[in-house]
Structure 1
Amino acid sequence: MGLFTRTALDDESDGKRERWLQRGHSSEVAFDAVEFVDGYAVLRWDTGRGGLGLAHSLTTGNASCREVVRALRHRHGVSLIDRYACLVAAQTATQVAQPYVPQLLAYDIDGSGTQYETRWAQLAAALGQPAPYWFHTLRDRDAIAAWRPGSAPAVVPARDVATPITALTELAADEPDGSPVAEVCWYLAREVRRRDHTLVTRQIAELRKDAAGGGDGAHLTLGAVPASLLRPTPPEPTETVRRAGWLSIIERRDVLAYRVADFAQHWDGGRDWHTGAVTDLYPVSCTTAQEWAKRLTPAADDQPPTVLEKGLLRHADDADVLLHDPITSLPVLHHSPGGRNARFYTYSLQRLPTRSPLAAVVLSGSGYTCWIRTQDGTLWLAPEREGSGIGFGYSGNGCHILARLIDVLLDDISASAARSSDPAAPRGLFELLRDTPCDRTTTYTRAQLLAARTN
């Protein structure tokens, strides 16, 4: 919404109600303090027209005016209107075009309840001086708390508030020499720091270019600049080291491992984990799922959950039961056991840990589930990457990915889960899966699959 846009909620008596920031500079402006509330840092000024707050989120790049006002109202109650007349929230950017200039949104506490755009020049006019901005990679709580008008920019390590690396460094610090866990964590921490430093250095340069040209960036001051990087980022660990490190982490049961795992999910979706997508299975309508379920055993209930177990338990109800698959060593959540909506949730693997060749593929129409049976009789869920998806009975991307997967598993049972960018499977194999009925369970033997591949 533009700065001068009005809504039906504005003062209808004369249609000329001004935004608070439009009223210009007050002769009585004094910086008060920094208030921290629900993950936001709010810098407050006293003016002759009421309190003005400038908020920065300490957890994401952008702050919502309504969320900040809600948090402040929860703290101050009815006295909020006496403390704040206007709230301004800092964002990460204003436009796609360069140079980079951060955006501002504003909210008049006694106004229409509408969040609206404003500019740094407008905010500076209300304060009689430029207001400070902290890039989201430089939002150090202590540095913001210490800021006062006229302060030189604080020098802080560049670190994105949305991807904190503290858990990585703490976990690595406790590992023995040569630990793949430590190697993975140290690499990621330094790589994140390098990327954040590169990003904010470029953004500051763009902002200064805008300011030199008389743009809106000339009406703000930097609250912080990045500290120098004194150590180069080492080469990325090999895939073997990365997978070994993550396998150790996700089998752990401590809070620090949970935090590191959460970081990985935000960073790359757990690319180097041995697990892939979460799959739901329906034993009521799938006899293959019933066969698989018979091998499940109760999970340990006398200790905290592993990282993987915790991932499943986030969506559990009180009646759900945590189980263990002894073949894959993966957790399984039995949802609504005994009920009409009973189902299992578990992880697929990115690779099958077996040397026994593929003997058959079982396609269950219930949930579009693909099972792999190896020559030793073991039943496996087909390998699947998070976000890729596999399917059959249609000509979409999921069917292409499943065809690629089966094509490589016929030659190498331990091959990695297929990607959409992998080479296309033979046309005959794809057409076989495309034409498979979705309302029943279909089994294709190795011989049938090989024949389709050469068709």
Structure 2
Amino acid sequence: MGLFTRSTPDGDNERKPWLEQAPAGDVVFAGAEFADSYAVLRWDTGRGGVGLVHSLVDGNASCKMAVRALHNRHGARLGERYACVVAAQTATQVTQPYVPQLLAYDLGASGKQYETTWAQLAAVLGQPAPYWFHALRDRDAIAGWRPGSPPAVVPARDIATPVTALTELAADEPDGSPAAELCWYLAREVRRRGHTEVTRQIAELQGNAADGGDGAHLVLGAVPAPLLRPGPPEPAEMVRRAGWLSITERRDVLAHRVADFAQRWDGGRDWHTGAVTDLDPASCAVAREWAQRLVPAADDQPPTVLEKVLLHNAGNADTDLLLHDPVAGLPVLHRDPGSLNASLYTYSLQRLPTRSPLAALILSGNGHSCWIRTQDGTLWLAPEREGWGIGFGYSGNGCHTLARLVDVLLDDISAPAARPNDPAAPRGLFELLRDTPDDRTTTYTRAQLLAARAG
């Protein structure tokens, strides 16, 4: 079957988008199929097949990516099955109410996707088409849908942050496990948020339909299952951090999946690690001292969660060498070992795991790095949060952040890395760091820092 029927006498059909052409004749629902991460409901019409696409991994589906996935599945026979593909989108309008959007793509035409409406799609199909909110896109429910089916009842969840790994990990943990408490909380919180969001969106869509809007021309593929327990209280910060500490030290696939969830959920906010730092022992004497304590990482086991994330963010698992900092308990990536451009990558910590007081602050201009030496002689990278860098030798945000950090570490060596809403540091301490040369290594003793803070 061709992509287009013969033109009407005035030839308008060939110039119109497929969905706006003459009536499609008899329409038969042909079921669902799955191509890569797309669910496609297909109808056969007198002018060819039309597919309604929902992404199973994202709120929005790309017409062109869906067509590519279908082509991978059907090859040269794709044109025999589809003349037009319509992709469901989440609502894009800022104002209320919520009404999902549609984009369409005509195979064999200009190659451009275009906006369409549920009313237009319903006119072609002779019946409203189903929409699945992104929190309710259950593969089995979509596969089982038929025209006239009542909405499936689906537990709401965010398809971009699946919770299966969380519940599986928690189920295997012993009683009292911080990791289990953390994972159960996150899984239930994802469900709670999904249920709240989709319930609101359905109410808005129903209001739009009652007013005769485009929402009147679609049906719901699913509604959220009721929540059977109240929203869980968030675990205390120490429980969250202890849970993530145990998870990020693990090497199993399940822990890696839970870590992937954390990266999408909040970027690993409660992990004990902070920013990834690039260090060059060849040009920085302090980094050279630190590098002397590094040992080879285990090469007979899969990487830990932290090792895998570090490799993903900064390295190449095939060419780079993994090391281990036994003092900080952190992985270190030796990038391009043996080359002139070799460098070391590791994490800073969000808190220093020591009770020994701050003895000195070391600022390396050559290495553009900030170090803390504690009274017991141990060298630490200064705590630093991802996205909130520290620096010196200038008057910008990085210097303000470092001054706030030093201010609190003088009183409590285990204080967390500075946050953007923390109180400003004393002016004298900020000015000391601002005026520090950035082309050499400078060491400030505890006495010097305390004097600057008091000045």
- Structure 1 residue matching 2:16: 3-state secondary structure: coil
1:83-94 → structure 2 map (5 Å cutoff): 83-94=81-92
CA deviation map 1:56-85 (0-9, x unaligned): 000111111111111111222222122111
> What is the letter of the counterpart of residue 345 of structure 1?
Y
- Structure 1 residue matching 2:135: 3-state secondary structure: coil
CA deviation map 1:185-231 (0-9, x unaligned): 11111111111000000000000011111111111110000000111
CA deviation map 1:354-386 (0-9, x unaligned): 111111111223453111111211110011112
1:56-455 → structure 2 map (5 Å cutoff): 56-314=54-312, 315-366=315-366, 368-455=368-455
Q: Is the 8 A contact 2:173 2:180 kept in 1?
A: yes
- Structure 1 residue matching 2:40: 3-state secondary structure: strand
Q: Which moved more, 1:429-438 or 1:178-187?
A: 429-438
Q: Is the 8 A contact 2:284 2:367 kept in 1?
A: no
Q: Is the 8 A contact 1:281 1:345 kept in 2?
A: yes
TM-score by length of 1: 0.94
Change (3 A) 1:25 1:402: farther
> What is the letter of the counterpart of residue 60 of structure 1?
D
Q: Distance in 1 between matches of 2:247 and 2:345?
A: 21
Q: Is the 8 A contact 1:61 1:91 kept in 2?
A: yes
Q: Which moved more, 1:430-439 or 1:41-50?
A: 430-439
Q: Distance in 1 between matches of 2:122 and 2:417?
A: 55
- Structure 2 residue matching 1:104: 3-state secondary structure: strand
Change (3 A) 1:401 1:24: farther
Q: Distance in 2 between matches of 1:60 and 1:287?
A: 47
Q: Distance in 1 between matches of 2:133 and 2:407?
A: 48
Q: Which moved more, 1:318-327 or 1:158-167?
A: 318-327
Where does residue 40 of structure 1 map in the other structure?
Answer: 38
Q: Distance in 2 between matches of 1:135 and 1:367?
A: 50
- Structure 2 residue matching 1:137: 3-state secondary structure: helix
> What is the letter of the counterpart of residue 181 of structure 1?
A
Q: Which moved more, 1:220-229 or 1:264-273?
A: 264-273
**Residue 242 of structure 1: CA displacement?**
1.4
Q: Is the 8 A contact 2:154 2:222 kept in 1?
A: yes
CA deviation map 1:100-139 (0-9, x unaligned): 0111111111111112111111111111111100000000
Q: Distance in 2 between matches of 1:200 and 1:275?
A: 34
Q: Is the 8 A contact 2:153 2:222 kept in 1?
A: yes
> What is the letter of the counterpart of residue 338 of structure 2?
G
**Residue 24 of structure 1: CA displacement?**
4.9
Q: Distance in 2 between matches of 1:340 and 1:227?
A: 59
Q: Distance in 2 between matches of 1:165 and 1:112?
A: 41
Q: Is the 8 A contact 2:25 2:47 kept in 1?
A: no
Q: Distance in 1 between matches of 2:430 and 2:324?
A: 34
> What is the letter of the counterpart of residue 293 of structure 1?
A
> What is the letter of the counterpart of residue 416 of structure 1?
P
Unaligned runs of 5+ in 1: 1-12
> What is the letter of the counterpart of residue 245 of structure 2?
L
- Structure 1 residue matching 2:258: 3-state secondary structure: helix
- Structure 1 residue matching 2:270: 3-state secondary structure: coil
Q: Is the 8 A contact 1:26 1:128 kept in 2?
A: no
- Structure 2 residue matching 1:289: 3-state secondary structure: helix
Q: Distance in 2 between matches of 1:101 and 1:369?
A: 50
- Structure 2 residue matching 1:359: 3-state secondary structure: strand
Q: Which moved more, 1:267-276 or 1:133-142?
A: 267-276
**Residue 14 of structure 1: CA displacement?**
9.9
Instruction: Quote the RMSD (CA, aligned, Å).
Output: 1.6
**Residue 180 of structure 1: CA displacement?**
1.4
Q: Is the 8 A contact 2:128 2:219 kept in 1?
A: yes
Q: Distance in 2 between matches of 1:30 and 1:396?
A: 65
- Structure 2 residue matching 1:395: 3-state secondary structure: coil
CA deviation map 1:373-432 (0-9, x unaligned): 112111100111122221222222222111110111111111001001111111222222
Q: Distance in 2 between matches of 1:240 and 1:127?
A: 56
Deviation above 4 Å: which 4+ runs of structure 1? 13-16
Q: Is the 8 A contact 1:283 1:342 kept in 2?
A: no
Q: Distance in 1 between matches of 2:389 and 2:321?
A: 26
Unaligned runs of 5+ in 2: 1-10
> What is the letter of the counterpart of residue 327 of structure 1?
V
> What is the letter of the counterpart of residue 405 of structure 1?
L
Q: Distance in 2 between matches of 1:87 and 1:427?
A: 62
TM-score by length of 2: 0.94
